[in-house]
A and B are shown apart, each in its own frame.
Chain A
Amino acid sequence: MPAALRGDVDRSDSNAQTAQHSLGQFLASVELKAFRIAQAALRHEDDALDAVQDAMLQLARAYADRPADQWKPLFYRILENRIRDLQRRRSVRDRVMSWLPFAAEPDGANDPLATAVSPEVPVLRRIELDETMSALQQALTALPRRQQQVFLLRTLEGLDVAQTARAMGCSQGSVKTHYFRALRALRAQLGDLR
């Protein structure tokens, strides 16, 4: 192989490794937040994990070559679509299951890993966090879905108004309205947080 061509291949290898590394870092930075957002919408851990996994694969498949600053809105747009698909599928499944004389055991119900908590958070703080989070989750669940998603994308993921609008496929004005309504509703339900 000529030296010039070999140099091109080496540079291309290096670029590919850098891109791969950037994508890995990006996915690691969003995965837990994305899981929480999907879980708030789907209210089911495995469905939320499936949604996040599908969104990751789709981003890697179709948009890995895009500039890294475009990944976040794209990723959350894919996740949003996936959540909607899963909700539709689940509503059909629930309708079918309601006709059957038995109820399916949720996957991993007896899995010790499922109940294991992260060692990074002390136990007492964990209990306190659990109580507050439980109240917050209930309040979030009571929100209309669009308000819930806008609120989480802005507050948890830290997307700005424009990025949130792109991720949700709506106007910036709509994002602002949903966000303000969500905040007021949560404030009315939760009062002052500890």
Chain B
Amino acid sequence: MSESHELAAFERQLGELLQRDAGAASGRVRSRLNQARHAALVEAGERRGAWRRGLPGRRIWLPAAGALAAVALLVLALGPRPVAAPPPFAAGAGVVMTAQDMTLLTDRDGLALVEDGGGQFYEWAAAQARGAPASAAAADDEPDKNGG
């Protein structure tokens, strides 16, 4: 007989022996296992019962939860909105504002110069830089500007 056949026969013998032995437990063991089984069945029964008892409760709680969610949505929709943060300062496409620009913009003297006809002065200065004669009005005004 090959080893595999011998092992198979041995396996069968062991199986029968173990089965017989399992059936020959003492009274104490059988009693304890019986109690354990009943405790497990009670546990399973209670869990099923609790789930079924929970059904009417769910019928009440589900609409209540729905109503609560609706109120929460309403409060979110109609309640005070958070103050929006001011948009980031944009000086124009492709232009980057620097701290120096901000200083110029907030400088009162510079603003007064513009308001007091400083525009003419700038036009004259630009014409001088191009080497062209300034406009008549600008030329008339120039000594005044230089003179103060």
Q: Do the two shown chains form a genuine complex with each other?
A: yes
Residue numbers of A with Cβ under 8 A of B are 12, 16, 19-20, 23-24, 27-28, 31-33, 35-36, 45, 49, 52-53, 56-57, 59-61, 64-65, 108, 111, 113-118, 120-121, 126, 129, 132-133, 136, 152, 155-156, 183-184, 186-187, 192-193
* Contact pick for B7, options A45, A56, A152, A187, CB 8 Å: A187
Q: How far is the CA of A19 from the CA of B6 in the complex (A)?
A: 43
Q: Which one of B43-51, B74-82, B90-98, B134-142 is at the interface?
A: B43-51
Interfacial residues of chain B within 1-59, with CB under 8 A of chain A in the complex? 6-7, 10-11, 13-15, 17-33, 35-37, 39-41, 43-45, 47-49, 52
With beta carbons under 8 angstroms apart, the residue of B11, B29, B43 that contacts A35 is: B29
A49 → B minimal CB distance (Å): 5
Contact A60 B11, CB 8 Å, known A116-B26, A133-B17, A193-B17: no
Chain A residues with CB under 8 Å of B19's CB are: 156
Q: Quick check: B39 and A27 within 8 Å, CB to CB?
A: no
- Contact, CB under 8 Å: B25 / A156: no
Contact of A23 among B10, B17, B39, B41 (CB under 8 A): B41
State which of A53, A64, A65, A133 has its C-beta within 8 Å of the C-beta of B21.
A133
A27 contacts B26, CB within 8 Å?
Answer: no
Majority DSSP secondary structure for residues of B touching A: helix
Q: Given A23-B41, A31-B37, A116 and B14 touching (CB < 8 A)?
A: no
8 tightest A-B CB contacts, nearest first? A53-B36, A113-B28, A60-B44, A56-B40, A60-B40, A64-B44, A31-B33, A156-B18
* Contact among A31, A52, A64, A108 for B47, CB-based, below 8 A: A64
Whether B44 lies near A49 (C-beta < 8 A) is: no
A-B contact pairs, 22 of them (CB 8 A): A16-B49, A23-B41, A24-B37, A28-B37, A31-B37, A32-B33, A36-B21, A49-B29, A53-B32, A64-B47, A113-B26, A113-B27, A117-B24, A118-B23, A118-B24, A136-B18, A155-B18, A156-B19, A183-B11, A186-B14, A193-B14, A193-B17
Across chains A and B, the number of contacting residue pairs, with CB separation under 8 Å, is: 131
Contacts of B31 in A (CB 8 A): 113
Provide the bound-state CA to CA distance between A187 and B49, in Å. Answer: 51
Chain A contacts for B47, CB-based, 8 A:
60-61, 64
Kindly provide the distance from the CB of A35 to the nearest chain B CB, expressed in whole angstroms: 6
Given known pairs A35-B25, A116-B27, the reply for A59 and B40 (CB within 8 Å) is yes
- Closest approach, in angstroms, between the C-beta of B25 and any C-beta of chain A? 6
Asked whether B22 lies within 8 Å of A32 as measured between CB atoms, the reply is yes
B10 x A193 contact (CB < 8 A): yes
Within 8 A of A (CB), among B63-79: none
